[in-house]
Structure 1
Amino acid sequence: MTENLVDLPAIEAAARLIEGDVVRTPTVPSTGLSELLGVPVTAKLELLQRTGSFKVRGAAAKLRLLDDAERVAGVVAVSGGNHGIAVAAMADSLGVKATIVMPRSAPRRAVELAERHGATVQLTTDVTEAFALGGRLRAEGLTLIHPFDDPDVVAGQGTVGRELAQDAGALTDVLVSIGGGGLISGIAAAIRALRPGVRIWGVETAGSDAMARALAAGGPIPIVPTSIVTTLSPPAVAPLTYAHVRALVDDVLVVTDAEAVRGTLEIAEAAKVWTEPAAGCLLPAARRVVEQAGGDCRLGLVLCGGNATVADVLAWASRFGVDVS
């Protein structure tokens, strides 16, 4: 670690630890996205990861490090969707009892998948109450598997960046979605070590822009998330992830929910992969990067997850007046 930041040796250790638990997802040039954006685009298809998102990497890294007493006590995770699915699946494979706390706004599919893996799911009125309940359950003896405020989790997510750096061709810019900031923190640590000249851009949706607000305020501040993108909607980022973004990320771009939904549909049509809006938000942000960086840029997009139903996306498209014809 340097200044409490996760470093490449920690990410390499996490990669060895979770090698048997995760998929080395494809890193592929996308002809369709390249034509759409007018510059070469490489996509890291983390939506093809086990459980449908990158989250299983951090969950596996943390659960693999639990001692016997912690495993016996069981674990609790607070999630807007994907982290809960990942913790439930990994805990199930290790024989650890899991309780997943989600706000009622979480996708129904996420609740169903967590329960399918044997987890107990508790629903709360909103994400702030979910984190409060998670804290109470931790105080009662469960081990908290935090979605982002944990260096072991960040190191696990950093294996995405390690693979991208190793597998991609030439890149000038990498775009990563931000919820609590665990994914971009780990990816940025890996990319800065392995490809130091590459620019790193974070992307949030308006109403869940906790990192952008933290950067403007000089530190993490509480917010009330209002975005439909629940998987990017913590009540605040952590000092840990804020420090990584402040030190390692070039800028954080904020797009609207409508743009994120439209991006999901455009990626489906152009790249032939089904993302969720947490990844769809990268497309409008990528257009801004191309405008700022110019036509010589070569983009890497981390398509972080695909756990949205067709019905959900079409309902959002109707709500925001996004043309699906």
Structure 2
Amino acid sequence: MIGISDIEAAARRIAGHVVRTPTVPSPGLTALLGVPVTAKLELLQRTGSFKARGATAKLLSLSEAERAAGVVAVSGGNHGIALAVMAAALDVKATVVMPRTAPARSIELVEQAGASLRLTDGMDSAFALVLRLRDEGLTLVHPFDDPVVIAAQGTVGLELAEDVPDGEEPTDVLVSVGGGGLIAGVAAALRARFPDVRVWGVETEGAEAMAAALRAGGPVQVPVSSLVTTLSAPSVSRLTHDHVSALVEEVLVVPDREAVRGCLDLADRAKLWAEPAAGCLVPAARQVVERVGGGARLGLVVCGGNTTPAEMYGWADSFGLL
């Protein structure tokens, strides 16, 4: 299990390479949800999401031989962007494998950063290709099945705990779940600093790898159909499952339509341009308030903002939300 000392060490390692993003009260979301809401704004991170933290920590941990071999990653969007950009900054050659369904903007950013891009027909085939490239000699930078990466993602929770004002500590923190690296690290940090806090995971329908793993008692393969490609891992890992099983209250699952509506709410009420992987937190927050009552104080980890106006308007229009 990742401990608070691992997360504190990761914070020291990546300091100066990533942004200490703001932790701020949100009057707009407080009015919308009826309870105090604090937002951790990882959409303001380098590369537009929290993924820069884990990618940076892993790159900095490599041996000279691993750096020379180059690195490879599989991604539905944000991890690939983060690895491509941070590898270029640290002078490491990177290969990124993505499904063709990844957001066009994500594909463009990976190419702009100078990484070698490999596209596949889906996430299953993307994971298969990245393992083959690893076996051919590239160093795998896994998006979530790596203690170094998880500890670095946990710095999001460490900063939230350090920056929230005394007396305003959240009772409930909501974190989006793809493969589970972010929530594993954040839960480890928050539960170490605030032992009574409840941490809730959020997935979208058709990207339910962690919810399925919790039901099965361990990682299982799931079919992926959600439009939220940045949450669409075909399975979680034993490492992330075990952290979530031990530290997280529950993983809530919301429809894609509600995730997109949540993006519109974040734009309208919180003045935040977020991707659906973060938008899903809003409908889930309503569920949490209904369950725990009006005495809740919510923390939302707004994990990323890598989406274009055309994508957002297209989703909203298709769901009749405009």
Supply the AA of the counterpart residue of 2:23: T
Confirm or deny that 1:161 pairs with 2:157. Answer: yes
Confirm or deny that 1:249 pairs with 2:248. Answer: yes
Match of 1:197 in 2: 196
Alignment equivalent of 2:32, drawn from 20, 31, 36:
36
TM-superposed CA distance for 1:62, in Å, is 0.5
Supply the AA of the counterpart residue of 2:7: I
Kindly provide the CA deviation profile for residues 254-282 of structure 1, in whole angstroms up to 9, marking residues without a partner as x. 00000000000011000001000000000
Match of 1:209 in 2: 208
TM-superposed CA distance for 1:313, in Å, is 1.0
Supply the AA of the counterpart residue of 1:60: T
SS in 2 for 1:100: strand
Supply the AA of the counterpart residue of 2:230: T
SS in 2 for 1:43: strand
Alignment equivalent of 1:67, drawn from 63, 66, 79:
63
Match of 1:170 in 2: 169
Confirm or deny that 1:288 pairs with 2:287. Answer: yes
Match of 1:184 in 2: 183
Map of 1:91-106 to 2, 5 A cutoff? 91-106=87-102
Kindly provide the CA deviation profile for residues 78-121 of structure 1, in whole angstroms up to 9, marking residues without a partner as x. 00000000000110011111000000000011111111111011
TM-superposed CA distance for 1:20, in Å, is 1.0
Confirm or deny that 1:50 pairs with 2:49. Answer: no
SS in 2 for 1:254: strand
Gap runs ≥5 in structure 1: none
SS in 1 for 2:119: strand
TM-superposed CA distance for 1:170, in Å, is 2.0
State the alpha-carbon separation in 1 of the partners of residues 16 and 63 from structure 2. Answer: 19
State the alpha-carbon separation in 1 of the partners of residues 222 and 293 from structure 2. Answer: 34
Supply the AA of the counterpart residue of 1:24: R
State the alpha-carbon separation in 1 of the partners of residues 222 and 169 from structure 2. Answer: 37
Match of 2:16 in 1: 20
State the alpha-carbon separation in 1 of the partners of residues 244 and 320 from structure 2. Answer: 33
The alignment's C-alpha RMSD in Å is: 0.6
SS in 1 for 2:218: coil
Task: Note if contact 2:28-2:269 (Cα within 8 Å) is conserved in structure 1.
Answer: yes
TM-superposed CA distance for 1:140, in Å, is 0.5
Supply the AA of the counterpart residue of 1:119: A
Supply the AA of the counterpart residue of 2:78: N
Normalising to structure 1: TM-score of the pair?
A: 0.97
Match of 1:317 in 2: 316
Kindly provide the CA deviation profile for residues 282-313 of structure 1, in whole angstroms up to 9, marking residues without a partner as x. 00000000000100100000000000111101
Task: Note if contact 2:209-2:235 (Cα within 8 Å) is conserved in structure 1.
Answer: yes
TM-superposed CA distance for 1:171, in Å, is 1.0
Alignment equivalent of 1:80, drawn from 76, 79, 95:
76
Task: Note if contact 2:26-2:37 (Cα within 8 Å) is conserved in structure 1.
Answer: yes
Match of 1:234 in 2: 233
Confirm or deny that 1:118 pairs with 2:114. Answer: yes
Q: Percent identity?
A: 66
Kindly provide the CA deviation profile for residues 225-272 of structure 1, in whole angstroms up to 9, marking residues without a partner as x. 100000000110000000000000011100000000000001100000
Supply the AA of the counterpart residue of 1:312: E
SS in 2 for 1:72: helix
Gap runs ≥5 in structure 2: none
Normalising to structure 2: TM-score of the pair?
A: 0.98
TM-superposed CA distance for 1:320, in Å, is 1.7
Task: Note if contact 2:218-2:238 (Cα within 8 Å) is conserved in structure 1.
Answer: yes
Supply the AA of the counterpart residue of 2:83: V
Match of 2:271 in 1: 272
SS in 1 for 2:40: strand
SS in 2 for 1:118: coil
Supply the AA of the counterpart residue of 1:209: E
SS in 1 for 2:131: helix
